[in-house]
């Protein structure tokens, strides 16, 4: 737990050095075109840095460096024990640089610095550590062919992995892709979101300090339609791992088909339902976690519990508790440890969120929030917002808003709850609250979601696969299964 005061964080923020170059082949470099884009603090509107805006040529240099390092074996053919050592050192360096990394996350995309210091950065370190510790415990297979043949089935690293990640958890999303890909022996080209390139650039530096050879982890900040597209279409990228919107995920499938048929793994949007049954024994806990599930990280969470489906008899009592939570979770300065909610990532996204809120005011009953506000006269902050009496067909109950906006929908029985929960193009996560064990198992089995959390929300760990059904994508991050994305099976058949 970080014990720094508001003044401490402001002091540290004033001394921070922002990395503003791409990181290619072990070195910081400007974009070949000389172009830059502004990295802006959404809480204040201040420009933090002018960051290299990579184009096709820069992406090509990064992929060439990644390929060269991969083929040289400088990382890909080292022992798993060596890769483990380096990844454990990197995990340690992330912990040693906790405050700097937490500030980079907060300043770059508006989240609360105390969350970045207690959730994002420790989470990233834990995941590098987990994959480091796992990689020397994974065995190949010997096929049961019988005497005269020895058939080995081994996992090999794929080669060059492209990773394109979003802005909501910049360091964590980069880590979810890079840690298993690197552990398996691949080389990586990472494109962070244009709103949040700073922690990825620092991560690449720390990885070198930990002992990762030059060219194994490259970072190409830039715009999606240029740098992201160039990576998606590159003929020498073997696999593209993406987290972001469903619309852009579909583009990556097209890029692959139009280029080298690279593997594409998608973790995309969500509209996760949270089902609360009348037999839930602890309505206070359900309210606490429902509020956390939609207001944490300003609701900018792909698995946010944005649809609250409540059994009619307990709905009003639950909504009353949630309204109290909303009142106590008003936005504040992200660097102040007492603040409850940070800034939206940028004014454009805040305006998108407000378009949904304004539409919802006409079709549902606003019971909390509903306004765009500033903090200290600056930034774009959206109040924690709750709509009651929402029809489950209403756009605020169907579309991914990606902000702190909750839609409350009443149901009468289990069948109706399951039908409404599954009536969505998405299927990333779901939660349900009940004291009945058999109901919990029955419903968990029927919900179309990659993760079902029972009597909690949004449960995840490095040990469990994270990803979706339907248009939430089909990639699985985390757990040993993530290694499936970054390895290929090689069969060696020996006659004797
Ligand atoms: P995007 O899907 O647009 O961005 C995710 C990543 O893809 C970024 O690195 C982005 O780069 C890149 N990208 C964007 N356009 C292209 C393109 N044409 N070709 C290749 N790469 C591209 O998400 P946004 O950040 O714009 O957010 C929009 C919506 O997506 C949100 O409102 C939310 O609904 C959803 N979203 C879901 C997330 C999740 O975790 N599942 C995370 C973030 C957003 P750049 O940023 O430079 O454009």
Tell whether pTM > 0.95: yes
From ligand 1's centre to the CA of 196, what distance in Å? 11
> Which distant-in-sequence residues (6+ apart) come within 8 Å of 436 by Cβ?
277, 279
Residue 477 is given by DSSP the state B
What separation in angstroms does the CA of 424 have from each of 128, 240, 398, 399, 410?
34, 26, 7, 9, 16
Closest residue to atom 22 of ligand 1, CA basis: 224
Q: Per residue in 327-362, pLDDT tens?
A: 999 999 999 999 999 999 999 999 999 999 999 999
- Catalytic annotation, pick one of 105, 178, 239, 267: 267
Q: Per residue in 238-261, pLDDT tens?
A: 999 999 999 999 999 999 999 999
From ligand 1's centre to the CA of 47, what distance in Å? 21
Structure token pair of residue 99: 């405050």
From ligand 1's centre to the CA of 109, what distance in Å? 14
> In 10 A of CB 438, how many CB atoms?
8
Among all chains, which residue has been given the structure tokens 């240099």?
Answer: 61
Q: What pLDDT score does 2 carry?
A: 54
Pocket test for ligand 1, best of 176, 219, 245 (most atoms within 8 A of CB): 245
Pocket test for ligand 1, best of 248, 302, 345, 472 (most atoms within 8 A of CB): 248
Pocket test for ligand 1, best of 37, 40, 192, 193 (most atoms within 8 A of CB): 193
Half-sphere exposure of 393 (CA within 13 A, CB side): 0
Structure token pair of residue 264: 């594409």
Give the ligand 1 atom nearest the CA of 301.
Answer: 40
Q: Check if 267 is active-site.
A: yes
Answer whether residue 164 shows pLDDT above 60. Answer: yes
Closest residue to atom 18 of ligand 1, CA basis: 225
Q: What pLDDT score does 204 carry?
A: 98
Closest residue to atom 28 of ligand 1, CA basis: 245
| Percent of the chain residues topping a pLDDT of 90 | 99
From ligand 1's centre to the CA of 341, what distance in Å? 22
Closest residue to atom 25 of ligand 1, CA basis: 166
Average pLDDT over residues 48-69: 98
| Average pLDDT across the chain, whole number | 98
From ligand 1's centre to the CA of 244, what distance in Å? 4
3: buried, middle or exposed (CB in 10 Å: 19+, 13-18, 0-12)? exposed
The dihedral built from the CA positions of residue 434, 437, 439 and 443, taken in this order, carries a sign that is positive
Closest residue to atom 12 of ligand 1, CA basis: 224
In angstroms, the CA 390 to CA 398 distance is 11
Give the ligand 1 atom nearest the CA of 270.
Answer: 41
From ligand 1's centre to the CA of 248, what distance in Å? 6
Q: Per residue in 382-441, pLDDT tens?
A: 999 999 999 999 999 999 999 999 999 999 999 999 999 999 999 999 999 999 999 999
- Catalytic annotation, pick one of 54, 178, 280, 302: 302
Band the pLDDT of 3: cuts 50, 70, 90.
confident
Average pLDDT over residues 281-287: 98
Closest residue to atom 16 of ligand 1, CA basis: 224
From ligand 1's centre to the CA of 194, what distance in Å? 9
Supply φ then ψ for residue 377, to 5 degrees: 80, 10
| Percent of the chain residues topping a pLDDT of 70 | 100
In angstroms, the CA 264 to CA 255 distance is 9
Closest residue to atom 26 of ligand 1, CA basis: 245
From ligand 1's centre to the CA of 493, what distance in Å? 44
Give the ligand 1 atom nearest the CA of 231.
Answer: 20
Average pLDDT over residues 62-69: 98
What's the order of all strands across the beta sheet hosting 149-157? 141-143, 149-157, 487-495
> Which distant-in-sequence residues (6+ apart) come within 8 Å of 234 by Cβ?
59, 60, 63, 162, 259, 260, 262
Answer whether residue 369 shows pLDDT above 80. Answer: yes
| Contact call for residues 427 and 375 (beta carbons, < 8 A) | no
Residues with CB under 6 A from ligand 1: 164-168, 191, 193-195, 223-225, 228-229, 232, 243-245, 248, 251, 267-269, 302, 400, 402
> In 10 A of CB 209, how many CB atoms?
12
Structure token pair of residue 392: 């489950």
Look at residues 339, 297, 372, 380 and name the one whose alpha carbon lies nearest to residue 45: 380
Closest residue to atom 27 of ligand 1, CA basis: 245
Number of residues that make up the chain: 496
């Amino acid at each position: 737990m970080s014990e720094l005061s508001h003044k401490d964080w402001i002091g540290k923020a004033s001394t921070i050095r922002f990395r503003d170059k791409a990181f290619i082949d072990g070195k910081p470099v400007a974009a070949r075109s000389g172009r830059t884009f502004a990295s802006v603090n959404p809480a204040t509107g201040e420009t933090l840095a002018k960051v290299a805006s990579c184009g096709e040529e820069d992406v090509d240099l990064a992929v060439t460096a990644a390929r060269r390092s991969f083929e040289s074996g400088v990382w890909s053919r080292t022992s798993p024990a060596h890769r483990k050592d380096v990844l454990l050192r990197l995990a340690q360096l992330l912990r040693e640089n906790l405050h700097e990394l937490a500030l980079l996350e907060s300043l770059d995309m508006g989240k609360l610095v105390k969350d970045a210091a207690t959730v994002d950065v420790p989470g990233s370190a834990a995941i590098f550590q987990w994959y480091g510790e796992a990689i020397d415990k994974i065995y190949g297979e010997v096929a049961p062919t019988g005497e005269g043949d020895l058939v080995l089935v081994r996992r090999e690293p794929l080669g060059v992995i492209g990773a394109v990640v979003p802005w909501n958890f910049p360091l964590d999303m980069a880590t979810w892709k890079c840690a298993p890909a690197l552990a398996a022996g691949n080389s990586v080209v990472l494109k962070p979101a244009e709103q949040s390139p700073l922690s990825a650039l620092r991560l690449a530096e720390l990885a070198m300090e930990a002992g990762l050879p030059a060219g194994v982890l490259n970072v190409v900040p830039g715009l999606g339609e240029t740098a992201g597209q160039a990576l998606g279409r590159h003929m020498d990228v073997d696999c593209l791992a993406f987290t972001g919107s469903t619309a852009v995920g579909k583009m990556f499938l097209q890029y692959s088909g139009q280029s080298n048929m690279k593997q594409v793994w998608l973790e995309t949007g969500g509209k996760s339902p949270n089902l609360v049954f009348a037999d839930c024994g602890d309505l206070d806990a359900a309210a606490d976690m429902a509020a956390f599930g939609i207001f944490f990280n300003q609701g900018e969470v792909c698995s946010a519990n944005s649809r609250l489906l409540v059994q009619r008899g307990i709905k009003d009592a639950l909504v009353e508790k949630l309204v109290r939570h909303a009142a106590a979770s008003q936005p504040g300065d992200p660097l102040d440890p007492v603040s409850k909610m940070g800034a939206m990532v940028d004014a454009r996204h805040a305006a998108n969120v407000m378009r949904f809120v304004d539409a919802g005011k006409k079709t549902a009953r606003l019971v909390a929030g509903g306004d765009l506000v500033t903090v200290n006269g600056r930034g774009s902050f959206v109040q924690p917002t709750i709509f009651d009496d929402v029809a489950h067909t209403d756009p605020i109950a169907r579309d991914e808003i990606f902000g702190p906006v909750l839609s409350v929908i009443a149901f009468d029985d289990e069948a109706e709850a399951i039908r409404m929960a599954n009536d969505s193009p998405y299927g990333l996560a779901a939660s349900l609250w009940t004291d009945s064990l058999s109901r919990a198992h029955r419903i968990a089995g029927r919900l179309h979601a990659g993760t079902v959390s029972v009597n909690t929300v949004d449960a995840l760990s490095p040990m469990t696969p994270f990803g979706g059904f339907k248009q939430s994508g089909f990639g699985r991050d985390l757990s040993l299964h993530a290694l499936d994305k970054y390895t290929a099976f090689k069969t060696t058949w020996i006659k004797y």
